[in-house]
């Protein structure tokens, strides 16, 4: 009986290591898989943190750029307004300078009559005399000014007269001069101040803004323009030359 027991014990002893092999294999496999997941989680966390930091930096930069653009736009608007006011002042000073020059010429030549078919500061062309006023007036005020000078608002009646007016206007640099041509509304007909119709064969009148009700014509240099009649410009008057020859 003692020998059988010994034989059984000797048979069972070698089986125990075989039954434990799967557990040992599992114990060996589990430590090798865990570090990879930890590394992936760390890398993913760093990547997400980098995205958050980048998004924050971009948001700050965008805010700074928006602020700079807003400041630039505000400064540009202020500069434009200042430039417009400065241009207006320059034109006003130039007009005053022309008025002073005109006055000086009148004083210098006020010693008596001159044998000329036109008065002082009037330009002769054919049988007419022309006056280029250098006083800022609206279209209606210009009409009244010409009447006060015993003349009429300029009415251009021929190509030769137009060429003379354009050449003379160019000597006044960039100044605009009203002439006696206007219309009411965009659908109205162009009429001279005396009520006669305008001949399109003389010159082309550019279209003005459709919002303007009263539109008048002016000459600037060698070009013809249309503008609101209430704006301020110089004007041109005309009258018959003096047949006697004394001014």
Measured between its terminal Cα atoms, the distance across the chain in Å is 169
Structure tokens at 206: 């550019």
Beta strands 176-184 and 233-240, pairing class:
parallel
Number of Cβ within a 10 Å radius of residue 165: 22
Element of type H or E holding 217 = strand 214-220
Is 245 part of a structural domain of the chain?
Answer: no
Domain hosting residue 106, numbered range: 1-111
Q: Please state, in angstroms and rounded to a whole number, the distance separating the CA atoms of residues 193 and 200.
A: 16
Domain count for the chain: 2
171 and 91, same domain (yes or no) = no
Q: To the nearest whole percent, how much of the chain has pLDDT over 90?
A: 38
Contact 238, 222 (CB under 8 A): no
Is 101 part of a structural domain of the chain?
Answer: yes
Q: What is the CATH number of the domain that holds 152?
A: 3.10.100.10
Q: Please state, in angstroms and rounded to a whole number, the distance separating the CA atoms of residues 219 and 50.
A: 68
80 and 29, same domain (yes or no) = yes
104 and 127, same domain (yes or no) = no
pLDDT digits (tens, 9 = 90+) for 58-94: 988 888 888 888 888 888 888 888 888 887 778 778 7
With 50 as the cut, is the pLDDT of residue 161 above it? yes
pLDDT of residue 88: 76
Q: Please state, in angstroms and rounded to a whole number, the distance separating the CA atoms of residues 243 and 118.
A: 9
Q: Which of 61, 87, 111 is the last residue of a domain?
A: 111
Q: Please state, in angstroms and rounded to a whole number, the distance separating the CA atoms of residues 83 and 77.
A: 10
| Most confident among 2-11, 24-33, 208-217 (mean pLDDT) | 208-217
CA distances (Å), origin 3, targets 6, 9, 235: 5, 10, 146
With 80 as the cut, is the pLDDT of residue 105 above it? no
Structure tokens at 18: 């075989």
């Amino acid at each position: 009986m003692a020998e059988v027991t010994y034989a059984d014990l000797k048979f069972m002893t070698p089986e125990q290591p075989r039954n434990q092999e799967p557990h040992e294999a599992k114990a060996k496999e589990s430590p090798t898989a865990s570090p990879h997941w930890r590394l992936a989680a760390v890398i993913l966390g760093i990547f997400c943190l980098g995205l958050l930091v980048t998004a924050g930096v971009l948001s700050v930069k965008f805010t700074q750029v928006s602020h700079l653009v807003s400041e630039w736009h505000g400064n540009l608007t202020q500069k434009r307004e200042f430039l417009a006011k400065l241009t207006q002042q320059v034109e006003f000073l130039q007009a005053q300078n022309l008025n002073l020059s005109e006055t000086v010429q009148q004083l210098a030549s006020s010693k008596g009559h001159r044998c000329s078919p036109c008065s002082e500061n009037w330009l002769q062309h054919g049988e007419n005399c022309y006056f280029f006023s250098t006083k800022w007036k609206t279209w209606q005020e210009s009409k009244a000014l010409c009447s006060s000078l015993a003349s009429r608002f300029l009415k251009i009646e021929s190509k030769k007269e137009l060429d003379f007016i354009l050449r003379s206007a160019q000597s006044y640099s960039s100044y605009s001069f009203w002439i006696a041509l206007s219309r009411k509304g965009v659908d109205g007909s162009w009429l001279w101040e005396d009520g006669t119709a305008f001949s399109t064969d003389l010159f082309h009148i550019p279209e003005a803004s459709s919002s303007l009700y009263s539109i008048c014509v002016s000459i600037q240099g060698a070009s013809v323009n249309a503008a609101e009649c209430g704006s301020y410009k110089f004007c041109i008057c005309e009258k018959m030359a003096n047949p006697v020859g004394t001014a």
